[in-house]
A and B are shown apart, each in its own frame.
Chain A
């Protein structure tokens, strides 16, 4: 149980284009999903928290107009990197919180990640 998928697993795009990454919870409903960014040999950096049916909450320093997040259903959140540039190249990972979890059982399950390379 508690499987989170991401698509695509790898994407290469030209500078200036937009890229959409999907995050799905496969066997549970997720009211909250999180988007992280990870540079090589570094830890995860939280970009934004996405709640189903409402606007995402972005961490300080993350441009909300550049990283568009949509959480339209309890099992799907999308991250769109708009007008991508080489410096946006990174490993993007989503995680999802089980709607039925709470208190001490609350935890996050991570997707396998999407490697974005912007040429």
Chain B
């Protein structure tokens, strides 16, 4: 079993839709949770960074963490074609440990 599971998609939605992206994990030692956005042929860009259960909002993006269920989500409201990219969840246990990435979900928002 992989440490982090993420559906690779692709996920295709119409402009304006609410998008839900998810990852599940098996190791309860993970304490820090990140979402990265990666456009084609570019490096990942940090979108959201959380370290506790609950919700964190930043503009159209909301990150949700449920440590009891080992489940994290990223919601995108009012999705735009410019949101079309691959979204990677990344998890880290305490200290200066390495990031563990999900497979990435490819999202396409069509006008």
A: residues with CB less than 8 A from B are 4, 6, 32, 34, 41-44, 46, 49, 91, 93, 95, 97, 104, 106-113, 115
Contact = CB atoms under 8 A, between A and B. Distances in A.
Interface stretch (B12-20, B43-51, B74-82): B43-51
Contact of B43 (A41, A42, A104, A112): A112
B101 interface: yes
Chain B contact residues (Cβ within 8 angstroms of A): what range? 20 to 34
Given A42-B104, A43-B101, A95-B43, 9 more contacts: A41-B8, A97-B96, A104-B51, A107-B32, A108-B46, A109-B46, A110-B43, A111-B43, A113-B41
Interface of B: 8, 32, 34, 36, 41-46, 49, 51, 88, 92, 96, 98-99, 101-104, 106
Contacts of A112: 42-43
